[in-house]
């Protein structure tokens, strides 16, 4: 089936670009001597996770129990929930999942450590545990240094938990535009993480895993000598926001190609300066700005409502008539993916694969 | 089951507030002598649509064929797709649906009129058709006046279509903050619509329906003497953005109460000034700003990432500990609803109803 037979709105993967992104990251990580545990919150799709593992990834990251369940169900044998899991039912499900696969989780609270330990013991399983430290993201995590040491001791003392190391993700650095600012933000994260690793070592505690990094900074963490497991996710798809990052030489960050597109149809063309698409706020996340129009020059998404994107058009988009189908580059890939049930994999204009986004939705 | 046993994130309806909103709108519309055809794109839920019809609504609006199919499947007998429908498969499904219920649709293009007519004739059905005019929203629709007359004639001449009147929704006026500015925007829409109705009448064409209005302006259209069918949707739930609108006296627009909430759990409390919730960009739309914290003073959603909302807390939220569950008021109700599978209806703290959001998702 040719792509222009696909009903819209739809989520389309350019398989050539996608596979090249997978290969490039696998090679970069192999060359740097660290591990890759890509984040499955980006794709929520076991078919993609299995391809990442086949290319050398040690497993995947997830952000919640329902994602981890979907990945284990889809054949992934090693899952890190790179997040805190709170509440008795969620914790019980996490422990149950550890009967089927290697499961690890992050902590930033001593009471949570005791609850995880009790649930794992009740199931007769062992959970791997990373202590999360706040290295500049100002989200979850204890402070680097002594608080991390205290929590690591609590994990080590808890039955049924295995202390696995540190989670040190600097999420806010990922979208800093200028390379030098990004590098400095990660340099500060590396310094805080290295000091914490050293403090733990002084107290006889080894960090098997020091984890973090995203698509915007992974090469910096990879070269740090401190991080040994990278958690980038968006590199497989890219998006308009990541593409705005600058490289060391000031050029646009084009190491990875856009491989993910919202496929949409022009459903109204009321005046020469405006085309209206059938993909709106319920088919695209706008938290990082509107999507870009991939296939037409002189066309800019200016507004969106529930089921419409309003595109301002210039002379270069004169042939954008009613019924024309076109591709948009999402502003932010992860929450856009979460809206869809399926990926439609396309190679050179022909549909080749349908992959269910089985971990999509407001799971918990 | 008490609400605090509900797993998070979840979408919760306060049934007392919700029912009062339904009643208030029904009474206001009855008093003004116009019809109400509430927009189902807000709720996507036949259980709610049936309650609206039971209180006097003539049917519902939908924004796409998949929503209309879900509404007809759920027992609604009269559906207006208040939007253009483009492409042979979508049009064929619209015509098929007209075998089961009264179905109307909007047009702003003569070729689209011919396609609708051919599809309806092929199915042996009649589609109602409203000509959409652009009364200031700058989205779809032909210009008021002569272009609308031309298109109305095309509809009248087309077999299997019944010209039903005008669609004249001023969507951009709904969220203008100051009442007087909002009133003036609708006054201009009323003027353009009235002139078009008069032009059609001069040419022997009657508009049975003159449709438009949303929650932000419905009372102005209701009193206009021109509009006779109102399409408000958000009044059932309200949201943070609509609540920022001002009334005629300058006070906040509190005619309808917040009845829709994102239920979330504090999953990290790393420092006194910050609480992190387990509901992020995949559980809330942020196109109209972040949600408000309903249950705690001194707590403000400052940032969101995929699975986290970061809440800045002051002394008034000192007791917001890990595991605490709380309600958020969505920034924009429609695209937030679209992320969830179920409403959890709660009355005075106890779960009373589960309603499937059967038209949710990126349907087409």
Same domain for A227 and A263, yes or no, is no
Of B112, B340, B364, the CB nearest to A9: B364
Of A9, A281, A310, the CB nearest to B139: A310
pLDDT for position A55:
98
CB contact under 8 A, A268 and B141: yes
pLDDT for position A49:
98
pLDDT, tens only, B102-132:
999 999 999 999 999 999 999 999 999 999 9
Domain-terminating residue out of B192, B209, B243: B243
Is residue A24 a contact partner of residue A218, using CB atoms and an 8 Å limit? no
DSSP per-residue codes, A154-202: HHHHSTTEEEEEEE---GGGTT-SSHHHHHHHHHHHHHHHHHHHHHHHH
A249 within some domain: no
d(CA A187, CA A193): 10
Determine the distance in angstroms separating the CA of B357 from the nearest CA of chain A, rounded to an integer. Answer: 13
Stretch A63-80: mean pLDDT, rounded?
98
Same domain for B344 and B216, yes or no, is no
Token pair recorded at residue A323: 């019924």
Residue A133, domain extent = 15-243
Stretch A31-59: mean pLDDT, rounded?
98
pTM exceeding 0.95? yes
Same domain for B274 and B230, yes or no, is no
B362 within some domain: no
The yes-or-no verdict on residue B316 having pLDDT over 90 is no
For B81, name the nearest residue in chain A, comparing CA atoms only. A307
Give the CATH number for residue A212.
Answer: 3.20.20.10
d(CA B128, CA B133): 16
Domain-terminating residue out of B216, B243, B270: B243
A362 within some domain: no
Determine the distance in angstroms separating the CA of A31 from the nearest CA of chain B, rounded to an integer. Answer: 30
CB contact under 8 A, A281 and B287: yes
Stretch A352-359: mean pLDDT, rounded?
98
d(CA B2, CA B29): 35
Bond from prior residue into B9 cis (ω within 30 degrees of 0)? yes
Same domain for A260 and A180, yes or no, is no
Is residue B113 a contact partner of residue B106, using CB atoms and an 8 Å limit? no
d(CA A350, CA B141): 34
Same domain for B36 and B182, yes or no, is yes
The yes-or-no verdict on residue A51 having pLDDT over 90 is yes
- Chain A residues with CB under 8 Å of B332 CB are 281
A267 within some domain: yes
d(CA A185, CA B259): 42
A250 within some domain: no
Same domain for B266 and B128, yes or no, is no
Stretch B88-100: mean pLDDT, rounded?
98
User: For residue A314, which phi and psi values (nearest 5 degrees)?
Assistant: -110, -170
- Chain A residues with CB under 8 Å of B9 CB are 362, 364
Domain-terminating residue out of B197, B223, B243: B243
pLDDT bracket for residue B318 (50, 70, 90): confident
Same domain for B272 and B226, yes or no, is no
CB contact under 8 A, A335 and B111: no
Q: How much is the mean pLDDT over chain B?
A: 97
A173 within some domain: yes
Same domain for A20 and A69, yes or no, is yes
pLDDT bracket for residue A258 (50, 70, 90): very high
Q: For chain A, give the percent of residues with pLDDT over 70.
A: 100
pLDDT for position A253:
85
The yes-or-no verdict on residue B253 having pLDDT over 90 is no
Of B11, B265, B270, the CB nearest to A87: B265
Stretch B141-164: mean pLDDT, rounded?
98
- Chain A residues with CB under 8 Å of B90 CB are 7
Stretch B85-94: mean pLDDT, rounded?
98
The yes-or-no verdict on residue A36 having pLDDT over 90 is yes
d(CA A75, CA A53): 10
- Chain A residues with CB under 8 Å of B364 CB are 7-9, 278
Same domain for B204 and B304, yes or no, is no
Same domain for A230 and A331, yes or no, is no
DSSP per-residue codes, B19-57: HHHHHHHHHHHHHHT-EE--BTTTT--HHHHHHHHHTT-
Give the CATH number for residue B349.
Answer: 2.40.37.20
d(CA A21, CA B342): 36
Stretch B240-246: mean pLDDT, rounded?
95
Same domain for B196 and B274, yes or no, is no
A24 within some domain: yes
The yes-or-no verdict on residue A316 having pLDDT over 90 is no
Same domain for B101 and B212, yes or no, is yes
B61 within some domain: yes
- Chain B residues with CB under 8 Å of A64 CB are 278, 307
Q: For chain B, give the percent of residues with pLDDT over 70.
A: 100
d(CA B252, CA A327): 41
pLDDT bracket for residue B41 (50, 70, 90): very high
The set of residues, in sequence order, having a beta carbon less than 8 Å from that of A20 and lying 6+ positions away, is A257, A259
Radius of gyration, alpha carbons of chain A: 22
CB contact under 8 A, B334 and A281: yes
pLDDT for position B173:
97
pLDDT, tens only, B170-192:
999 999 999 999 999 999 999 99
- Chain A residues with CB under 8 Å of B105 CB are none
CB-side exposure of B127: number of CA atoms within 13 Å?
Answer: 35
Stretch A20-41: mean pLDDT, rounded?
98
Is residue A295 a contact partner of residue A351, using CB atoms and an 8 Å limit? no
Considering its fold, how many domains does chain B have in total? 2
pLDDT for position A93:
98
């Amino acid at each position: 089936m040719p792509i222009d037979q696909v009903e819209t709105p739809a989520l389309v993967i350019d398989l050539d670009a996608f596979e090249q992104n997978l290969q490039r990251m696998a090679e970069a990580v192999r060359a740097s001597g660290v591990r890759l545990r890509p984040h499955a919150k980006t794709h929520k799709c076991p078919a993609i996770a299995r391809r990442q593992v086949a290319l050398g990834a040690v497993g995947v990251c997830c952000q919640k129990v329902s994602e981890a369940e979907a990945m284990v169900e889809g054949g992934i044998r090693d899952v890190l929930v790179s997040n805190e899991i709170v509440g008795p039912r969620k914790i019980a499900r996490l422990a149950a999942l550890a009967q089927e696969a290697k499961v690890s989780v992050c902590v930033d609270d001593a009471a949570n450590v005791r609850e995880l330990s009790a649930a794992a013991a009740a199931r007769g399983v062992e959970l791997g545990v990373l202590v999360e430290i706040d290295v500049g993201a100002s989200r979850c995590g204890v402070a680097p240094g002594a608080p991390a040491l205290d929590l690591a001791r609590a994990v080590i003392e808890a039955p049924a938990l295995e202390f696995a190391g540190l989670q040190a993700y600097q999420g806010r650095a990922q979208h800093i535009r200028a390379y030098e600012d990004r590098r400095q933000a990660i340099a500060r994260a590396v310094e805080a993480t290295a000091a914490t690793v050293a403090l733990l070592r002084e107290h006889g505690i080894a960090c098997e895993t020091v984890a973090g990094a995203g698509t915007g900074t992974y090469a910096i963490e990879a070269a740090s000598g401190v991080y040994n497991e990278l958690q980038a996710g968006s590199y497989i798809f890219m998006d308009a926001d990541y593409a705005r990052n600058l490289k060391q030489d000031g050029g646009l960050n084009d190491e990875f190609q856009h491989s993910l597109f919202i496929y949409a149809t022009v459903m109204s063309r009321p005046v020469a300066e405006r085309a209206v698409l059938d993909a709106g706020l319920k088919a695209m996340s706008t938290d990082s700005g509107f999507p870009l129009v991939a296939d037409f020059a002189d066309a800019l998404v200016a507004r969106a409502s529930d089921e419409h994107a309003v595109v301002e058009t210039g002379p270069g988009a004169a042939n954008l008539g009613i019924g024309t189908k076109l591709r948009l580059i999402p502003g932010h890939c992860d929450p856009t993916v979460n809206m869809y049930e399926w990926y439609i994999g396309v190679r050179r204009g022909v549909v080749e694969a349908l992959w269910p986004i089985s971990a999509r939705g407001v799971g918990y």
